[in-house]
Structure 1
Amino acid sequence: MAVGGKATIIATVLPEGGAQEVTFVSADTSQVTVKATGEYTAIAEGSSVITVATKEDPTIKTTVTVNVTAVS
């Protein structure tokens, strides 16, 4: 993703009948910021890991790595 790019993480908690509320946290907000809705923005060249965890049990989580490249 190029600097300035935006995308959204769509998270689904299984089983589908379970609580669907999740949190999104960027490990390095100087490179990638993320909103509570899952929308993230590439800020600077490099990479950051976004952790997605359930609000009900934060030990249930996954990660998404976002690589940011310079604008061409």
Structure 2
Amino acid sequence: MDPQAAKLIGAGIAMCGMIGAGIGVGNIFGQFLAGALRNPSAAGSQIGNLFVGAALAEALGILAFVMGILIWIS
């Protein structure tokens, strides 16, 4: 296999981490909404946890994007 092709395939696989981050953020907000509808009085105390989880999932997506770009450029 050509090294250039292997590099592009590796960059594409690294970029797939962004798909996982999108799924993760969707799950976080979807499960929070389901829980908030079942117990609205407890939803207010969990907002901080919601945003921390979403921020961590997005950070992993951004990291996957940066790693893909670095593999592609190098």
TM range (shorter): under 0.3
Normalised to the residue count of structure 2, the TM-score between the two structures is: 0.27
Greater share of residues in strand:
1
The one of the two structures with greater contact order (alpha-carbon pairs below 8 A, sep at least 6) is 2
Greater share of residues in helix:
2
Normalised to the residue count of structure 1, the TM-score between the two structures is: 0.28
